Amino acid sequence: MINARKRLEERFVRYAAIDTQSADGMEKTPSTETQLNLQRVLMQELDELGASNVRLTEYGFVIATIPGNLESAPRLALLAHVDTALDYAASNVKPIVHRNYDGEPIALPGDPTKRLDDSTAAELKGLIGETIITSDGTTLLGADDKAGVAVIVTLAEILLNDASIPHGDIRVCFTPDEEIGTGISKLSLEELDADVAYTLDGGEAGEVTYESFSADKALVRIQGVSIHPGSAKDRLVNALTLAAKLICLLPQHTRTPETTDERQGFIHLLRMAGNSAKAELHFILRDFEREGLQAHGDALQAAVDAVAKLEPRATMTCEISKQYRNMRYWLEDDMRPADLMIEAVRAIGLEPKITPIRGGTDGSQLTERGLPTPNLFAGIHNAHGPLEWTSVKEMEQSLQVCLELVRLWGSETV
């Protein structure tokens, strides 16, 4: 009998220690070679477990098959991404395993000023006595999404060692560059060859998601007039000053990430760079509804136009491009994948937490491309920062839900 908790903990700690941070602005996929270090580990592990047709695609995806024992059942795919976020240091990760959590604040040993307590990790109240995993406080942990990776590999081990569980073919897929939103477009749906899919890229136990943000990105370029500041009177046009004016014209007390929650969208200045001669400002625009997303883009464009009118000697452009769309737009036409996910959560004794995700997953793009792909919890907390943590119990509950999904889809027919 497989000790699922032991396997999940061991796998997660091992995967988390591998640096897989992606990088923005790269033209290749995967954006970093380090992601392939984990992908090769996963290939070897899946092959040793007995999975079929284990392969690494030219764009860094690992795909494998758990052969089914039901010919008529739909082909189910389970996906998790191997890359970690760009927001914080992600190399030399030192996972810390806290056993039998006692309910007291957890000071992270690499930086004791960083603590998990009631204000930073309220969900810990429900996990007294459980095993909690954190980083040492100097890096990301990488639970987003190596918790999902550990769950899927452990599920593969269970299914490959227990022929009594009825199911169709199961596709396993580990994806690169989810954090920068560019990887999943390189996944061939023909190669994945699935009828329905789930990403394991969610938060606390019971969380299910069939609605995500819609997302655009925007690049504002400002070309000023450069000249030596000693002779600049009536001649210098400072691109950085114009950038500051643009930022001041945008909403400050509404429509920003720090002033919104639940179903409210935002305009977010992600980063900027430049000098007095030229500057670039990178924005992301987010909303659950098409009209709201359009309104954010219109507001940004209007602000750019207003600053440009103030200083006609400068050149200012605003380029808005699509990233992904709310998966609900397509899933609402056929809620069966979401309904079965909710049924599976209830089957293991949890109450589903139907949560619109204030972000996106690979499932957002896959659903738009025609493969319905809701998102399931994997025990990810405080993602993208040094206070990130997970619990072995929640990973095990995610595994149990996946086993229920396998059984439920096994009773369906194509």
Helix (H) or strand (E) holding 341: helix 336-347
The residues annotated with a catalytic role in the active site are 83, 178
**List of domains in the chain:** 4-212+326-410 (3.40.630.10), 214-323 (3.30.70.360)
- Give, for all 414 residues of the chain, the pLDDT tens digit: 789 999 999 999 999 999 999 998 898 999 999 999 999 999 999 999 999 999 999 999 999 999 999 988 999 999 999 999 998 999 999 999 999 999 999 999 999 999 999 999 999 999 999 999 999 999 999 999 999 999 999 999 999 999 999 999 999 999 999 999 899 999 999 999 999 999 999 999 999 999 999 999 999 999 999 999 999 999 999 999 999 999 999 999 999 999 999 999 999 999 999 999 999 999 999 999 999 999 999 999 999 999 999 999 999 999 999 999 999 999 999 999 999 999 999 999 999 999 899 988 899 999 999 999 999 999 999 999 999 999 999 999 999 999 999 999 998 776
Q: Is 181 left (phi over 0), alpha (psi -120 to 50) or beta?
A: left
Helix (H) or strand (E) holding 347: helix 336-347
Buried b (16+ CB within 10 A) or exposed e, 377-395: bbbbbbbbebbbbbbbbbb
pTM: 0.92
Give CA–CA dist 62/46, Å, rounded: 10
Handedness of CA 255, 260, 263, 267 (dihedral sign): positive
Q: Which residues pair with 278 in a beta bridge?
A: 223
